[in-house]
Amino acid sequence: MSNELVPMETVVKLDETFTQISNSLKPIEEKLKELKEMSLVWDIQSSKALTEARGVLIKNNTDYTDIANTLVYNKEKLKHLEAIHKTYRDPFNGVLKIILDCFKSCKSNYEKCIEIESGAVTAWNEKIRLENERLQREAEAKAQAEAKKLEEKAAKAKTPEKQAELLQQAQMKQATVVSVNIPIPKISGITQKEVWEVDTIDVKLLPKEWMEPNIKMINDVGAKTEGKITIPGVTWKKVNKTIGARR
């Protein structure tokens, strides 16, 4: 099976074509340089605005008026920037969509292949691991059984020398259990790492600190029901949120 997705001669021709297109985009590149320079100024202005916003403290109605007017101003600035962004972005959206669509399906297929094959490889590794553990347990149990038989013979030995010899053999049986291991082929680019994952959760036994409530979902329910719904352990409060109208 060939790993070459596109013949090299085709790639070379595509490179030549895109080089020609790139040369024709020089005026656009110059315009984008101007945009980059403007964006540096916008970054400075917006960073200054953010610093001021972080220090906001309303102590009286004068402060409130100043901050509210600044809020409206910043909303207008954001709206203006989004309009400029749209002006530069929209002409390229069609081209970008075509390029993305060219790769979307095949990339998705390969990603699914990787997901399926990774699952199969992981499952096989797990199967072999469990089988190796089973074989190891059997080998250890066999060694213990043989050692026990030798110990029983030693108890019946007629001479101390024979008894000592049999006991030593019993100890050797238990100490020299051969590690059983079904090998898995080593493939370059494929690695296995042992990780711990949740198997089961008994919510009744789970400590409270491990239970994180879904605040967004609860707030959404509270907003829809105007706090009239009863949820055990939850109390409601009415909050006035300021929404700067966009003109």
Give one DSSP letter per residue of 52-91, joined into a string: HHHT----SHHHHHHHHHHHHHHHHHHHHHHHHHHHHHHH
The ranges assigned to domains in the chain are 56-175
Residue 224 is which amino acid? K
**Residue 146 CB burial class (10 angstroms; 0-12, 13-18, ≥19):** middle
pLDDT for res 25? 67
Each residue's pLDDT tens digit, 77-115: 999 888 888 888 887 787 778 878 877 888 888 889 888
Q: Which residues of the chain have pLDDT under 70?
A: 1-25, 177-178, 241-247
pLDDT for res 16? 67
- Compute the half-sphere exposure of residue 98: CA atoms within 13 Å on the CB side of its CA: 4
pLDDT for res 247? 45
Instruction: Report if pTM > 0.75.
Output: no
pLDDT for res 22? 66
Token pair in block for residue 167: 């006991």
